Amino acid sequence: MAQTYILVIAGKPEGPFNLEELKSLKVKPGDFVKTPEMDDYKEAHEIAELREIFGFAKPDLLMQYFASFDQRLLATALDWFMISGVFIILAFIIVSFIKDKETGITVALAILACVPFVKFIYQVTMESSIKQGTLGKQILKIRVVDLQGNRISIGKAINRNLCKIFSMAIFFIGYLLAFFSKQQQCLHDMMAGTLVIKERLF
């Protein structure tokens, strides 16, 4: 089935229109459109299909696209909460079947020690996936991209998350660099060549 778009005309959503109808309406790069699957409107030049058909130039990443430090921090907190919660519940269930107290504590600590490793794999997998972000980032509607705004590879995702070691060094100063970066990049973003962005109409 051909893709259809809702088009904002004179401040009001009209349509849906198919691509031929959009051509007849002479859609401009800055016109707002959305498909039935999209959560919010985007400018026409932000959508690859419309750029190809109408010859629009791909937009540069503007300042309002960059996720703020507090959004990134909250997303990270949500991820830690979700992953840690799963492992705490798992540890509780397993330990409840162990009668020896000392053995139970050892097993519980061993399970909880896996959290950072699982979180690393989780972040690499999710950031390089089609979702371009962890569940925490998805909730905040922010995502990880390369410097051109494209989805990152699994290799770049691994590099980005390994570079967080440097961001955490010396009292997390690498994270605080976001306050001094126009693109709100932390040190690991600068090293890996990545950005964390949000939808402009967020």
79 and 143 both lie in a single domain: yes
For 116-138, what is the mean pLDDT? 96
121 and 34 both lie in a single domain: no
How much is the pTM? Answer: 0.71
Rounded-to-integer distance, Cα 202 and Cα 195, Å: 17
Rg of the Cα atoms in the chain: 22
On whether the CB atoms of residues 25 and 8 are closer than 8 A, the answer is no
70 and 50 both lie in a single domain: no
List C-alpha distances in Å: 48 to 29, 54, 58, 142.
12, 10, 8, 19
Q: What is the DSSP string of 37-79?
A: T-SS-EEGGGSHHHHHHHTPPPPPPPGGGBPPHHHHHHHHHHH
Residue at 91 is within a domain: no
The range of the structural domain enclosing residue 148 comes to 65-85+115-198
For 17-26, what is the mean pLDDT? 88
193 and 127 both lie in a single domain: yes
52 pLDDT above the threshold of 90: no
